[in-house]
Structure 1
Amino acid sequence: MLCLGPPLLFFLVKPLLEAAVAESSFHLPAPQNVTIISYNFQNTLKWSPVMGINSSAVSYRVEHCKKSDCVWAEEVDSTNITKPEYYFTNVISEFVEVIFRVRTEQGELKSDWVETAPFQARTQTILGPPREIDATVEANSIFVSYNAPFDNKSRFFVFQYLISYWEKSTDKDLPSSDKVVVDTRDTQYTLANLMEMTEYCFHIQAVLPEKDLHGRLSDTYCKKTSFTETRRILFITLTFIFAVIILIIVFFCLMVIQKHQNVIKSLWGPPLTIPLHYEEDLQNPQMTVVEEFKNCAGEDHWDSVSVLPSAEQNPTVTNSTDGNNQNVHLLETDEFR
């Protein structure tokens, strides 16, 4: 039986071990959901996190190449990435169409590469709305100022701005035909010749005309116009004239009342009239007195009293009673007569 020494046994086993290690190097899970998110030319490569062997931490490696001449290259900061994302804003130009790939690494273990679709920031980035929007009312005009969606000093993009404005309505979905759209390259614009004392709403959108890249709409802002200077002066003048006319009318009414008081009183308070049945009775006073006397004599008890100035000299009192009536007569003295 052939006996093999340790050196010879090592050389025989080594290829098998290398093959086993090579085979096990692709056992790490590959990243999933690899996507590129670009907002205002801030580009981020993202993917789902991967757990390593025995749930240990892993790192990631990212490479990219030009679509026209794909030679995979890696940047200094694109290796040993611990988070499932990679920022590459300054890696490539926004004009270049590139492809990215990413894999998982853990020591000697590696996963398969996962590639992205071709990406060009110039056409695929998402433009945000203009920033720092401000609106000021100037009579029947609205002065609007704003800034670019991002700091444009290092990129020299030429933006165009679309300003849509309309008269405020209760309808939530206003037809586009009822909106006025103006375009400008300036970061300020005046919405002029609007209706006075009317509320207008507007929003702004940034556009890169070279690639027909439209940004997101800004929030809707509403402002109410005021009177023009001419209309304001006219309103004040008419108000003053109206007040003067009212004062003149009041003064004239007071003068008329002062001069024709009797006439006004007769108009407002007509003379009192006696009812017809009372007037007929008053035309015959004696009959009225007799009838009233009889009524009183038949119904009421009454006493007749005469007081003498000096009752001690000739006090003569006559008492008479007739039915329910009692009369007391105090006879006058000769002097009083």
Structure 2
Amino acid sequence: MAAALRAALCGGILLCVAGMVPKPQNVRISSVNLHSTLQWDAPRFARGNISYTVRFKSINLPGNTYEPLGTKLRVPECDVSSLSAYGHYELQVRAEAGPRRSPWVALPFRPMDDTVIGPPEVQVKSESGALHVDFSGPFAEHKQDKWPLRQYYGSWSYRILYWKEGSTAGLTSASRVTHVDTKHNSEILSQLEPWTVYCVRVQAVIPEWNKTGELSRELCEQTTHNGVTPVWVIVAVLIGSMLAVVIAVPVCFFSFFHLYRLTKHVFCPSYIFPQHLKEFLSKPPSAPQSFSPLPQEEHLIYDKLTVISEDSQNPRGEAEGEASETPEHLQGSEQGNSNSGGGAASGKA
């Protein structure tokens, strides 16, 4: 009797198991920069098509019930990025084939802990013997929205790792790798060897959550001159400046002097202005000009000069000769005088 009951029970169990849908396998969370996806492996079930249902419950609040995240899913994954990044959840997934259901498979999920911090975006520029490193992100993306991850975490910093190219096997030799931590979005790597190629990688570090982000891609850049001017260059510049001053000062002086003489010659000529023109121009225009009149003939005084030759025998002829030598205008004057004398004589008679 007992053996028959045991056989019937085992047969019923086998019948139930044969009609049950297998549960999903290898349930896991894939989360990068708070973009989270619940994934699993599809079970082997030959009878009918399988769909999946995903639900969640918040563990922070006791007494909460499960809420659906996805139903009738045809692919073995479900986007759970809509859950709050600060929550603590339990996710469940099961397989369905018509009216048959598989058991639930549970998985705890805490977005801030489980997500992977991706690499930041990095730019490296060589200038004056130093490397200027700028970085930003990573960013949390959901649909059309985008936020910097550092807004979710309290203590956030960047770690810059750099080394000489070819000197080591990259990050495998920690003794040759130098790292610098900063809370800013840029850093200047100084005290580097000039004309040397350095490689740089950057990652995010969150000490409060004990998390370290992924490293950025390797960027290599060659440094230039370190910006320190050699002493011989300074001395050469000083000597050249002094020579330039010594040459420039005389040239400027003689150029100015020549220009001064040329200007003076053009605008202030060196010839002397005539004195009578100076006096004439110095008088006012309205002043009458005084000119001495030419002497008139009636104001001239003449003396009669008689020349007597010693060998002359004819005094009268001499007199006539003298008379003929007298100028005509003097003769007219004498005639006038004689006339006036004759008239006076006749009047007297």
Same fold (TM > 0.5):
yes
Over residues 26-48 of structure 1, what are the superposed CA-to-partner deviations in whole Å (9 max), with x where a residue is unaligned? Answer: 61111111111111111111111
Query: For residues 114 and 229 of structure 1, do their structure 2 counterparts lie closer, same or farther at Cα, with a shift above 3 Å needed?
Result: closer
1:115 aligns with 2:106: yes
Aligned-partner Cα distance in 1 for 2:111–2:209: 11
- One of 152, 161, 175 as aligned partner of 1:157: 152
Q: Is the 8 A contact 2:168 2:176 kept in 1?
A: no
Partner SS, residue 210 of structure 1: helix
Deviates more, 1:201-210 or 1:167-176: 167-176
Runs of 5+ consecutive residues of structure 1 not aligned to the other structure: 1-18, 242-337
Query: For residues 194 and 24 of structure 1, do their structure 2 counterparts lie closer, same or farther at Cα, with a shift above 3 Å needed?
Result: closer
Compute the displacement of 1:135 (Å). 0.8
Larger radius of gyration: 2
Q: Is the 8 A contact 1:129 1:206 kept in 2?
A: yes
Compute the displacement of 1:204 (Å). 0.7
Q: Tell me the amino acid that sits aligned with residue 194 of structure 2.
A: E
Over residues 249-283 of structure 1, what are the superposed CA-to-partner deviations in whole Å (9 max), with x where a residue is unaligned? Answer: xxxxxxxxxxxxxxxxxxxxxxxxxxxxxxxxxxx
Runs of 5+ consecutive residues of structure 2 not aligned to the other structure: 1-11, 141-145, 240-349
Aligned-partner Cα distance in 1 for 2:220–2:192: 13
- Normalised TM-score (structure 2): 0.54
Over residues 75-111 of structure 1, what are the superposed CA-to-partner deviations in whole Å (9 max), with x where a residue is unaligned? Answer: 3x511111100110112x2222221111111221111
Identity of aligned residues (%): 28
Equivalent residue, structure 1, for 2:137: 148
Aligned-partner Cα distance in 2 for 1:224–1:74: 56
Query: For residues 224 and 196 of structure 1, do their structure 2 counterparts lie closer, same or farther at Cα, with a shift above 3 Å needed?
Result: same
Aligned-partner Cα distance in 1 for 2:220–2:234: 27
- One of 172, 178, 185 as aligned partner of 1:180: 178
Equivalent residue, structure 1, for 2:50: 58
Partner SS, residue 30 of structure 2: strand
Q: Is the 8 A contact 1:163 1:183 kept in 2?
A: yes
1:40 aligns with 2:38: no
Query: For residues 61 and 70 of structure 1, do their structure 2 counterparts lie closer, same or farther at Cα, with a shift above 3 Å needed?
Result: farther
Equivalent residue, structure 2, for 1:262: none
Number of equivalent positions: 215
Aligned-partner Cα distance in 2 for 1:35–1:125: 12
Equivalent residue, structure 1, for 2:250: none
Over residues 178-227 of structure 1, what are the superposed CA-to-partner deviations in whole Å (9 max), with x where a residue is unaligned? Answer: 33221112222111232212222221111223202101112222211111
Aligned-partner Cα distance in 1 for 2:132–2:223: 11
Equivalent residue, structure 2, for 1:99: 90
Query: For residues 129 and 232 of structure 1, do their structure 2 counterparts lie closer, same or farther at Cα, with a shift above 3 Å needed?
Result: farther
Counterparts in 2 of 1:1-337, with a 5 A limit?
27-50=20-43, 52=45, 54=47, 56-68=48-60, 69=62, 71-75=64-68, 77-91=69-83, 93-116=84-107, 118-131=108-121, 133-151=122-140, 153=147, 156-158=151-153, 159-172=156-169, 175-231=173-229
Query: For residues 73 and 200 of structure 1, do their structure 2 counterparts lie closer, same or farther at Cα, with a shift above 3 Å needed?
Result: same
Q: Is the 8 A contact 1:143 1:189 kept in 2?
A: yes
More helix by percentage = 2
Q: Is the 8 A contact 2:129 2:193 kept in 1?
A: yes
Aligned-partner Cα distance in 2 for 1:172–1:230: 31
- Normalised TM-score (structure 1): 0.56
Q: Is the 8 A contact 1:26 1:110 kept in 2?
A: no
Q: Is the 8 A contact 2:139 2:147 kept in 1?
A: no
Query: For residues 235 and 129 of structure 1, do their structure 2 counterparts lie closer, same or farther at Cα, with a shift above 3 Å needed?
Result: farther
